[in-house]
A and B are shown apart, each in its own frame.
Chain A
Amino acid sequence: MSMKFDDKLPIYIQIMNYMKKKIITGEINGGDKLPSVRELSTKLRVNPNTIQRTYQELERENLVFTQRGMGTFVTEDKQIVKNLKKDMASDIIESFISEMKGLGFSYDEIAEVVKDRTKKEE
């Protein structure tokens, strides 16, 4: 497990996003145990308090839960993961659209280029 940091964003948020992606893509499954705070801190070379914070925030968003003395586990609620996927997608779309608007594209033109581009892939 390794990740590249863009230190502009708070690090706990970057690690949260990294974990979220893994949960969405199924690289980490519902019910899986996350590495311990110390393990992850060593792997990512990040202060353990930052990892602690990451886990707390993930727990607040109900994506993980802690079992005393056992560790931190990924939620088995599929709906939560589905919603997470939707949220992350809409974040990406949001920022894409605002960048495109910044380049002077209209909504119709944006839809057009996206359609062209996705067609090419198929």
Chain B
Amino acid sequence: MSYILEAKNLNKSYFKKKALNNLNLSIEKGRAVGMLGPNGSGKTTLIKIAAGILRQSSGEILIDNHEPGVYTKSVISYLPDRNYLPKWMKVEDAINYFNDFYGDFDRNRAYELLDFMKLEREMKVTSLSKGMTEKLHLTLVLSRKAKLYILDEPIAGVDPVARDKILDAIINNYNEDSSMLITTHLVRDIERVFDDVVFINNGEVILSGNAEALREEKNKSIDELYKEVFGE
């Protein structure tokens, strides 16, 4: 079995607070994996370590058999959970910026996605609504030909119509050569996209498996399972 991401005994502390606690996780190539957990469970910390933005305190993480670094950054396309584009930019500038930065960026694909998302190249980044900003970010991230797409809360704070649009873009972009890791706490809207799910709490994986197998075994939707696992 070949893995696109492998984490072994991963630990991360912020001073005294443990964000990741001996976390183990493997993601197979070509899968869409949902990483589910409440706020503060460690999802974003894990993602930032994978994306090479943070460094673990101890343990090992490999992306496509490499430690986070120049190579892994070139194969990961990462959607952060907040806005990161400079305020002066227009949509077109953002596309140029990505095009300059990433060798695997496909400008034509970006224009197609912009059309699909109903965004104009002349729009200013600062004038976009929350949903539109999310759509722009997703356009940029999905226009790269990456091996691993990491989407941190792609549908948080977005209205249901925009949400469907974003899900469509994610599904249309899905292919066997790339993997996706998507974090969310809005499980219900997105669970049908996942091959596998991983439940994370207090920096540990507490449950993981194939989404369909879990539904069959527990006789519950992943959303219900989430509520059971994390509810009181």
Write the chain A residue with the least CB distance to B219: A8
B172 in contact (CB, < 8 A):
yes
A45 in contact (CB, < 8 A) = yes
A45-B167, A50-B212, A53-B212 are contacts. A7–B172 as well, Cβ < 8 Å? no
CB pair B221–A47 under 8 Å, yes or no, is no
- Does A36 make an interface contact (CB < 8 A)? no
For B164, give the chain A residue with the smallest CB separation.
A45
| CB–CB B222/A45 < 8 A | no
Q: Which of B164, B174, B216 contacts A47 (CB 8 A)?
A: B174
CA distance A5 to B224 in the complex (A): 14
The interface on chain B, measured as residues whose beta carbon lies within 8 A of the other chain's beta carbons, has a size of: 23
In the complex, what residues of A have CB within 8 A of residue B221's CB? Answer: 6-8
Q: How many residues of A contact B (CB 8 A)?
A: 18
Partner of B193, one of A10, A12, A46: A46
Query: Is there an interface contact between B192 and A47, defined as CB atoms closer than 8 Å?
Result: yes
Q: How far is the CA of A41 from the CA of B174 in the complex (A)?
A: 10
Distance, CA A11 to CA B221, complexed state (A): 9
Which A44-67 residues sit within 8 Å CB-CB of chain B? 44-50, 53
A9 at the interface (CB under 8 A from B): yes
- Give Cα A29–Cα B56 distance, bound, in whole angstroms: 57
Question: Smallest CB-CB separation from A12: which chain B residue?
Answer: B212
What's the count of A-B pairs with C-beta under 8 Å?
A: 53
CB distance from A47 to the nearest CB of B (A): 5
Write the chain B residue with the least CB distance to A5: B192
- Specify which chain A residues have a CB less than 8 angstroms from the CB of B174 in the assembled complex: 41, 47-48
In whole angstroms, how far apart are the Cα atoms of A41 and B192 in the complex?
10
Contact A7 B171 (CB under 8 A): no
Contact between chains at A7 and B167 (CB < 8 Å): no
Q: Is B104 an interface residue (CB 8 A)?
A: no
**Residues from chain A with Cβ under 8 Å of B224 in the complex:** 7-8
Given A5-B192, A45-B192, A46-B192, A10 and B215 contact (CB-CB distance below 8 Å): yes
B residues 112-165 near A (Cβ < 8 Å) are 164
Say yes or no for B168: interface residue by CB 8 A criterion. Answer: yes
CA distance A12 to B192 in the complex (A): 10
> Chain A: which residue is nearest B217 at the CB level?
A10
- Alpha-carbon distance A66/B222, docked complex (angstroms): 31
CA distance A100 to B192 in the complex (A): 33
Residues of chain B contacted by A106 (CB below 8 angstroms): none
For window 1-58 of chain A, which residues contact chain B by CB distance below 8 Å?
5-12, 41-42, 44-50, 53
Interface residues of B (CB under 8 A from A): 31-32, 164, 167-168, 171-172, 174, 188, 191-195, 212, 215-216, 219-224
- 8 CB-based A-B contacts, threshold 8 Å: A7-B188, A7-B224, A11-B215, A12-B212, A45-B193, A46-B193, A50-B212, A53-B212
6 residue pairs, one from A and one from B, having the closest CB atoms: A7-B221, A10-B212, A46-B192, A10-B215, A10-B216, A8-B221
Interface residues in chain A, defined as those with a beta carbon under 8 Å from any beta carbon in chain B: 5-12, 41-42, 44-50, 53
